[in-house]
């Protein structure tokens, strides 16, 4: 069923009881098709799981029993990968990481830069000639999970999060992501995944959970107090848009009391 769907560029719904090896069967099938039809740039396979634990399980199954070894990447959040001592304890790790990686000067304990990213760029990790075999067939990181990436980052003093990003840019043909990175447009665009998903073979594990995650991604909850704070902030900001009358008029219409 999976192979027929891929060949015809169609969708397929595959069902099998728990414990029958659905993950390995589906993953091996699409990777076999990928290898058979690989040219200069193979069609990407994107494996999507609901949780990080389920993603880890898929990687373990792939490592244990699947014979195919395309260049892979695991697209997870900074919270899972970051080694920076200050960012790891920051309330908003993503924002703190963005700020640190904007600073392109040698980092010290007192500076706000990221020494792990500086080191990776300095030694050409992971895309440099020295490191490429590290992630190819026969290399120690040909298949890796979260723990492997963090362990490698600590040993080499490089950034695991940006390593995973760089592997995608390098042309990783097998990428593991979570539901939210597929269905939430904000998360998907922030992670640069729109281009990754284009013309890819997308396999959704435990697909019966997808509708609820999609509903959550399209929903927004806010308290009345929070709305009042937002309106107050916008009222204070509106007068500063005098040079942009159209934007000012639109903003004032949004915060105007009902007639």
pLDDT per residue of the chain (259 residues) written in tens, 0 to 9: 788 888 888 888 888 888 888 889 999 999 999 998 877 678 999 999 998 889 999 999 999 999 999 999 998 777 778 888 877 778 887 778 877 777 555 544 445 578 888 999 999 999 999 999 999 999 999 999 989 999 999 999 999 988 998 999 888 999 999 999 999 988 888 888 998 999 999 999 988 888 998 898 888 888 999 988 988 998 888 888 888 888 888 888 888 887 7
What's the pTM? 0.80
Please choose, from the candidates 78, 69, 68, 144, the residue with its C-alpha nearest in 3D space to the C-alpha of residue 116.
78
**The predicted structure's pLDDT at residue 112:** 58
Contact between residue 178 and residue 20 where contact means Cβ atoms under 8 Å apart: no
Token pair, residue 76, equals 């997870």
Token pair, residue 48, equals 């999507």
**The predicted structure's pLDDT at residue 126:** 93
**The predicted structure's pLDDT at residue 33:** 92
**The predicted structure's pLDDT at residue 107:** 47
Dist CA 103 CA 14 (whole Å) = 48
CA angle 95, 77, 63 (to 5 degrees): 160
**The predicted structure's pLDDT at residue 132:** 93
Residue that the structure tokens 């993953």 belong to: 27
**The predicted structure's pLDDT at residue 78:** 77
Helices and strands (DSSP H and E) totals, the chain: 14, 4
Which helix (DSSP H) or strand (DSSP E) does residue 28 occupy?
A: helix 22-36
Please choose, from the candidates 72, 76, 60, the residue with its C-alpha nearest in 3D space to the C-alpha of residue 31.
72
**The predicted structure's pLDDT at residue 103:** 59
CA dihedral 93, 94, 96, 101 (to 10 degrees): 130
CB atoms within 10 A of CB 248: 16
């Amino acid at each position: 069923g999976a192979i027929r769907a891929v060949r015809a560029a169609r969708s397929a719904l595959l069902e099998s009881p728990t414990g029958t090896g659905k993950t390995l069967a589906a993953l091996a099938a699409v990777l076999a098709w990928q290898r058979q039809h690989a040219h200069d740039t193979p069609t990407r396979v994107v494996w999507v799981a609901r949780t990080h634990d389920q993603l880890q399980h898929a990687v373990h199954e792939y490592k244990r029993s699947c014979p195919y070894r395309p260049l892979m990447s695991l697209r997870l959040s900074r919270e899972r990968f970051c080694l920076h001592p200050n960012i790891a304890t920051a309330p908003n790790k993503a924002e703190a990481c963005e700020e640190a990686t904007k600073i392109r000067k040698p980092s010290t304990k007192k500076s706000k830069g990221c020494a792990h990213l500086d080191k990776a760029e300095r030694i050409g990790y992971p895309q440099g000639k020295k490191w490429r075999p590290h992630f190819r067939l026969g290399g120690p990181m040909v298949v890796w999970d979260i723990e492997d990436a963090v362990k490698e980052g600590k040993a080499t003093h490089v950034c695991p999060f940006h390593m995973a990003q760089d592997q995608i840019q390098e042309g990783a043909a097998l990428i593991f992501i979570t539901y939210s990175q597929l269905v939430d447009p904000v998360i998907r665009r922030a992670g640069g995944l729109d281009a990754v998903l284009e013309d890819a073979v997308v396999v959704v594990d435990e697909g019966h959970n997808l509708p609820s995650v999609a509903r959550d991604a399209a929903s927004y909850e806010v308290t009345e107090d929070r709305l009042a704070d937002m309106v107050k902030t916008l009222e204070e900001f509106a007068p500063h848009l005098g040079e942009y009358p159209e934007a000012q008029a639109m903003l004032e219409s949004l915060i105007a009391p009902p007639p």
